[in-house]
Every structure is written in C-alpha cells, then in structure tokens.
Amino acid sequence: MSSFSTLLFEKKGAVAHISLNRPHALNAYSIQMRDDFSEALAATEDDPDVRAVLITGQGRAFCAGADLTEFGTAPSQAVARQVRWERDVWGQLAHLPKPVIVAVHGYCIGSGVEMALLGDLRLAGEDTIFALPEVQLGMIPAAGGTQTVPRNVPTGTALDILLTGRRFDAAEALAMGLVTRVIVNDKLIDAAWAAASAVSTLEPGIVAAAKTALTLGSDLSLGDGVALETRLAASLL
C-alpha cells in the first residue's frame, strides 16, 4: 500500500483502491487532497494492469465536503475556489475509461456527493446522510453538481436538493437515483470490493466503449446516439 498525506492508495489484483484519509476532518476535501487525488487517478489511468477503481473513505464519513477552514485563510472565497480548480480532478474522474465504483457512508456532503456522482457504480451504507449545501452558503456547486445531479434525478428533485440544501438519507438517495445500491453498513466494503472485482474481469476496450456510449450519448439525439453506438460496436469487431 502506498500512502499519500490525505489518502491511502493500494492495488489488489486488477483493482486500484483510493481511500480518502482525513478521518479527523470527516475527509473534508482540501488542497492537499486535491493534489494527492489527482496523482492517484493519473497512476490508475496509466497502469495497464488496473481495470477498475474503488473509491472509499476512512473513518466516520465518506466526505463532508470542502474544507471550509481553508476558505477562511484565503484572501477571498473566489480565490479559495480558484485554487481547487488548478488541477482538474473532476475531469480526470469523468473521463477515466476504467469503471469507477464509489462506496459512501456516514456523511456524504457537497463535494462528497459530486465525487460520488462521477462514479459509475455508487453504493451507499444505510446510515449515509447526503446534502448539497452550497447554495445555502452563498455559492453554487463547483465540482459538477449542477450537471451530474440532474443527469441522475428529475429536474424538480435536483432543484429541491440544490436550493434547499436539505439533508436526506440513503433510502431517499436510492429512490431518487443518486445511488445505485444501499447496503447494510457492515457489509458495504465487502460489497464494494465484490463489485469492483467483478467489473475488473471485463475486457478494458469494451468497458471504455460502453462508458463512452453512455456518457457522450446522453447529450445526443436518439438517432445520433444510436449512430455513435454503432460506430463503437463496429470498432470492437
């Protein structure tokens, strides 16, 4: 296992495991975590032996959002946010051609929700509490939340959780489509590893093509989406 200062990184077989590791701060997303996460994602993308990525969090939370203590030390809120965009971690996740499994538990707030929504399979422990509080704090989500939330839930539901910042549980997250499975807490990690191991056995080119078809096709007309699917299928023959 290789460790960064804010996360743990290990490879088991064809699975790369990235675990957020600031448990004292409920894994709040900091500038150092941004840098560590970016390096870990680059390593997984460049490693031909890695066929799936599993993302989890250490301690009592998956991720409690951005580290607001860093906002307090920046010259302005705008500067604090700009610093977080100096590495495109969210773009790395969104364009990773390998399947990404995210297992959330405890608190999954703000950036934690946005990180999870950039995963392909999203598992939640039954105790997980979700929220997107940015608008209530005088901001809007800046890690893709305004785009990924309405791609997974109806527009009215997306506006509800974005504008009110209200907290909701794993059962509601499953019902609205934010997560794909809810797992009993003590079985969450085993279930996540099983899912990651299963998809890691798939042929990488086929997985990459399927992800491309789904992600690009969602912004196309049905006819153009089918044409894209046909081209991708033909390229695999």
- Name the strand (E) or helix (H) holding 181: strand 181-183
Residue with token string 């609205």: 176
Which residue(s) pair with 3 in the sheet?
A: 8
Joined together, the tokens standing for residue 227 give: 């044409």
Dihedral of alpha carbons 114, 119, 120, 124, sign? negative
Greatest CA span in the chain, whole angstroms? Answer: 55
> ∠165-111-67 over CA atoms, to 5°?
100
Contacts of 230 (CB under 8 A, 6+ apart): none
Q: How far apart are the first and last CA of the chain?
A: 38
- Give, for 103, the enclosing helix (H) or strand (E): strand 100-104
Amino acid 83 reads V
Three-class SS of residue 84?
helix
Does the annotation mark 172 as catalytic?
no
Q: Which of 70, 134, 172, 229 is catalytic?
A: 134
Known catalytic membership, residue 114: yes
Check 10, 45, 70, 114 and give the catalytic one: 114
Using alpha carbons, select from 164, 140, 144 the residue that is nearest to residue 152: 144
Catalytic residues: 114, 134
